[in-house]
């Protein structure tokens, strides 16, 4: 069996979060969904458990970070093209998300980001399957390309 990853995130309003991520074309596993939680499917091996804050608190003795004023993590996921990066961020903003950072284009890697309604940071990225250009010793410019 392949290793699976589950990221647990506290949310204030589960329905609002489900509606937001549904607008970004994510789906949810109904077997792991109730009034306290849902399992958002990233792919066959990666999932995000959206947990109502009160329920989330039962998993830790620490304070829960307020994602609207501090950063506890940045979740990132890849898509198939630069155009899909931009389209996903547009959907996030239209669904009630907020802008995060500006587009970063390194030639072989392109990413953009947004905040979900709870303030969690998300990056959407595309990477060229060929990888970064070979290092020929030339210094890189701000776009990651040799100068």
Q: Can you give the CATH number for the domain in which 5 is found?
A: 3.10.180.10
**Domain residue limits at 102:** 71-132
How many structural domains compose the chain?
2
Residues 54 and 3 in one domain: yes
Q: pTM for this structure? A: 0.82
Residues 46 and 81 in one domain: no
Confidence check: pLDDT of 39 > 80: yes
In this prediction, residues 104-126 reach a mean pLDDT of 95
Q: Is residue 138 part of a domain?
A: no
By CB atoms closer than 10 A (0-12, 13-18, 19+), residue 141 is exposed
**pLDDT band for position 146 (cuts 50, 70, 90):** low
Residues 13 and 33 in one domain: yes
Residues 39 and 85 in one domain: no
Question: What is the pLDDT at residue 139?
Answer: 55
Residues 7 and 54 in one domain: yes
Residues 6+ apart with CB under 8 A from 86: 103, 112
Q: Is residue 24 part of a domain?
A: yes
DSSP for 29-50, written as a single string: EGGG-SSSEEEEEEETTEEEEE
Confidence check: pLDDT of 3 > 90: no
Residues 6+ apart with CB under 8 A from 5: 45, 46, 47
The model's pLDDT over 50-66, given as tens digits with 9 standing for 90+, comes to 999 999 999 999 999 98
Q: How many helices (H) and strands (E) does the chain have?
A: 3, 9
Residues 5 and 42 in one domain: yes
Averaged pLDDT of the chain: 91
Residues 47 and 97 in one domain: no
Residues 51 and 84 in one domain: no
């Amino acid at each position: 069996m392949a290793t699976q990853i589950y990221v647990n995130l506290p949310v204030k309003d589960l329905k609002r979060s489900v509606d937001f991520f549904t607008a970004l074309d994510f789906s949810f596993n109904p077997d792991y969904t109730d009034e306290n939680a849902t399992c958002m499917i990233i792919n066959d091996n990666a999932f995000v458990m959206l947990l109502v804050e009160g329920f989330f608190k039962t998993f830790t003795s620490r304070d829960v970070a307020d994602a609207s004023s501090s950063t506890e993590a940045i979740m990132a996921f890849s898509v198939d093209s630069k155009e899909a990066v931009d389209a996903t961020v547009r959907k996030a903003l239209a669904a009630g998300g907020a802008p995060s950072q500006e587009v970063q284009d390194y030639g072989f890697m392109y990413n953009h980001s947004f905040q979900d309604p709870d303030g969690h940071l998300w990056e959407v990225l595309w990477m060229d399957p060929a990888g970064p250009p070979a290092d020929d010793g030339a210094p890189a410019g701000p776009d990651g390309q040799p100068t």
